[in-house]
A and B are shown apart, each in its own frame.
Chain A
C-alpha cells in the first residue's frame, strides 16, 4: 500500500462520487482511505442465442431466471441435435470462472470468501452450484471443448451460432457483432431460485506515490471518470464506471446494454490480497475445484481439497 497516493480528500470533493461503481470503490479503499478510482468496467452476464431459443420453442423474451431455467433451456436446445449444445464455458480458465461462475454463487446467497476474507470453498451453496454444472456436463449439454478451454474456444463456439447460452462480458460483444447469422441477447446471471449477480471487473486508475506530476495526474483521472471520457469508452463497448450516467450515455447506445448496466450495478468482486493465487491461477485451487467437480464428478472431494489449499494460501504459508 505504500506505492499509491492517498486521494481520499480529492475524491470526496467530487460531485459524482456516489455515481462511481461501488465495487471498484471498495477495492480501491484500504483502511478507510481511497487510493484509486474506477476507470473501465466489466460485468458478467449470460449471452443467449435468440435464434436457437425460437427453434427450440423457447420464448426469447423470457430468458432464464433460475438455474432450473438454464438447465431446462440448455436441454431443449441440445435436443435440436447434431452439434447444437445448450451451454458452454471455458473450463480450464481460472479467471474466466471467477468472472462467470461466482455470480451464480452470489445470487444464491453464498460466497467464496467470508467477510474476513477467509475462503469458504466448502460451503453448501458452492456444492449446489457445482452440482448444477455437473448435471449439465453429465447430460451432455456442454461440448467437450469446454473441459480444456482456457478462454479462447468457447467464445467462438457461441459465436458460431451452435450454442444456446454462454456467460461472458461486454468485451465479447465486438466478437459477436461480426457473427451475423443469428440473433442474440443478454440477461443477468441468475441465482438458484431467482435474483441475479455479476462480477465487477475492469480497471482502476491511481497515482503512484513517487509521481512527480500528481496534479496533472489527478486532472487526468478526473477527466477519465468524467462524462465525456466515459461516453467515449461506452461507444467502444466498454462498460462505463459512472453508474449515475448509465441511463444517459450507456443504455441508449444499444438496447442490450441495459442488462449490462443492470449487472454492473449489482457487480461484486472478492476482496483479498491473495486473489491472484486463489482465483486467477490456472493451477490454483479455484479452477481445480471446478474441474474436479464438474468434469470428474467428485464434488465433495474437490471442495474439501480446494478449501484446504485456499486456506493454506490465505494463511500465507
Chain B
C-alpha cells in the first residue's frame, strides 16, 4: 500500500472533513428550519419574508394545535395515531413471533410453501389493492374506523415481521429449545421463557418497523378514515395544509411536522442498531 506523505494525508483529511460538514449542513438544514419554525411565536412564524433565526421562542404553535386553528384539535389526532401505531406494534409482534417461531422450529405439512405464500405480500404493494380493500373494510363494518386501519397496517407488516422472527429463531442452536422440551416445557413456554429472550433483538426490530409503518402512513389513512375526529396525524396535517379559503398557519403546520417526525428520529437514534440491521436483512431477502 502506498504511503502518502504526512502533509498530503493531513490535507486529504481536512478536505474530507470540509466536505462531510458541508453535506451535514445540507442534510440538517431542513430539520433545523422545521424546528425553528415550530418554536417561533405565531406572529413571527407568519412573517413574510421569513426569518431564518427565530427572534422569539414560544410554544404557542404547539398550543394552538389544541384547537384554535381551523377548529381542529390536533392533540386528538396525535392520540389517534398513537393508538393505531401501538396497536399495530403489539399485534405484529405477537403474530409474527408465533408465526416466525412455528416456521423456524415447528413442523407441519406444506410449511415451506405456506411460508412462501405468506411472503408473496412483499411482491404486491397495498396501493395496488386499496380499491377492493376499501370494500372489504366496508363489508366488515370497519370502514372509517381506527381498528380497521390498524388491521391493514398489521397485515402489511406481517410478512416482514414473520421473516425477521423466523430468522431470529432460526439462528438459535437446536440444543436450547430441545433442552427446554426435555425439561418438560410445553411449546408455548419454551417459546416465551427460553427462545424469546434470545430472539429479543428480532422482536425489537419488528416492533420498530411496525411502528414506523403505522405512524408514518398517509395513503391508507387518507382513504380508509374519513371522519375528521378519527383521522391520524398525517391526514390531519393535510387539512391544515390545504387551509380552504384562509391562511395557512405555517407555524402550526411545522409544529405538527415536528410532532410527527421527531419521535421517528429519536426512536431511530436510540435503536439505531436494530433499525439498520432490519434494513439490511430486508435487503438480503
Are chains A and B touching directly in their complex (CB below 8 angstroms)? yes
> B263 contacts the other chain (Cβ, under 8 Å)?
no
* A175-213, CB < 8 A from B: 175
> A131 contacts the other chain (Cβ, under 8 Å)?
no
Can you name the residue of chain A whose Cβ is closest to the Cβ of B246? Answer: A152
Interface string of A85-118 (1 = CB under 8 A from B): 0000000010110000000000000000000000
Interface string of B232-265 (1 = CB under 8 A from A): 0000000000111111100000000000000000
CA of A172 to CA of B244, assembled, Å: 11
The reply to whether B246 and A155 form a contact with Cβ atoms under 8 Å apart is yes
The reply to whether B247 and A155 form a contact with Cβ atoms under 8 Å apart is yes
Place the interface of chain A in its size category.
10 to 19
B248 touches which one: A95, A152, A172, A175 (CB < 8 A)? A152
> A151 contacts the other chain (Cβ, under 8 Å)?
yes
Q: How many A-B pairs fall under 8 Å by CB?
A: 27
> A171 contacts the other chain (Cβ, under 8 Å)?
yes
CA of A171 to CA of B70, assembled, Å: 13
A284: B residues at CB distance < 8 A: none
> A150 contacts the other chain (Cβ, under 8 Å)?
yes
The reply to whether B246 and A95 form a contact with Cβ atoms under 8 Å apart is no
B48: A residues at CB distance < 8 A: 156
The reply to whether B242 and A150 form a contact with Cβ atoms under 8 Å apart is yes
B242: A residues at CB distance < 8 A: 150-151
* A35-72, CB < 8 A from B: none
The reply to whether A95 and B244 form a contact with Cβ atoms under 8 Å apart is yes
Q: How many residues on chain B are close to A (CB under 8 Å)?
A: 8
Can you name the residue of chain B whose Cβ is closest to the Cβ of A201? Answer: B245
B247 touches which one: A93, A96, A152, A168 (CB < 8 A)? A152
How far apart are A87's CB and chain B's nearest CB, in angstroms? Answer: 18
CA of A64 to CA of B247, assembled, Å: 27
The reply to whether A169 and B245 form a contact with Cβ atoms under 8 Å apart is yes
Can you name the residue of chain B whose Cβ is closest to the Cβ of A160? Answer: B48
Interface string of A140-157 (1 = CB under 8 A from B): 000000000011100110
How far apart are B13's CB and chain A's nearest CB, in angstroms? Answer: 45
CA of A152 to CA of B116, assembled, Å: 50
The reply to whether B244 and A175 form a contact with Cβ atoms under 8 Å apart is no
A156: B residues at CB distance < 8 A: 48, 247
CA of A155 to CA of B247, assembled, Å: 7
Interface string of B183-216 (1 = CB under 8 A from A): 0000000000000000000000000000000000
CA of A93 to CA of B241, assembled, Å: 13
How far apart are A148's CB and chain B's nearest CB, in angstroms? Answer: 13
How far apart are A153's CB and chain B's nearest CB, in angstroms? Answer: 8
* A154-174, CB < 8 A from B: 155-156, 168-169, 171-172
How far apart are A180's CB and chain B's nearest CB, in angstroms? Answer: 15
How far apart are B247's CB and chain A's nearest CB, in angstroms? Answer: 5
Interface string of A223-244 (1 = CB under 8 A from B): 0000000000000000000000
B248: A residues at CB distance < 8 A: 152
How far apart are B25's CB and chain A's nearest CB, in angstroms? Answer: 28
The reply to whether B245 and A171 form a contact with Cβ atoms under 8 Å apart is yes
Can you name the residue of chain A whose Cβ is closest to the Cβ of B243? Answer: A152
B243: A residues at CB distance < 8 A: 150-152
CA of A151 to CA of B70, assembled, Å: 14
CA of A171 to CA of B244, assembled, Å: 11
A175: B residues at CB distance < 8 A: 246-247
A151: B residues at CB distance < 8 A: 242-246
How far apart are B57's CB and chain A's nearest CB, in angstroms? Answer: 24
B246: A residues at CB distance < 8 A: 151-152, 155, 171, 175
How far apart are A98's CB and chain B's nearest CB, in angstroms? Answer: 12
Can you name the residue of chain A whose Cβ is closest to the Cβ of B249? Answer: A152
Can you name the residue of chain B whose Cβ is closest to the Cβ of A95? Answer: B244
CA of A175 to CA of B46, assembled, Å: 14
How far apart are A199's CB and chain B's nearest CB, in angstroms? Answer: 12
B245: A residues at CB distance < 8 A: 93, 95-96, 151, 155, 168-169, 171-172
A95: B residues at CB distance < 8 A: 244-245
- List 12 extra interface pairs beyond A152-B246, A175-B247, CB under 8 A: A95-B244, A96-B245, A150-B242, A150-B243, A151-B242, A151-B244, A151-B245, A152-B243, A152-B248, A171-B245, A171-B246, A172-B245
| Chain A to chain B contacts (Cβ below 8 Å), 9 pairs | A150-B243, A151-B243, A151-B244, A151-B246, A152-B246, A152-B248, A156-B247, A169-B245, A171-B245
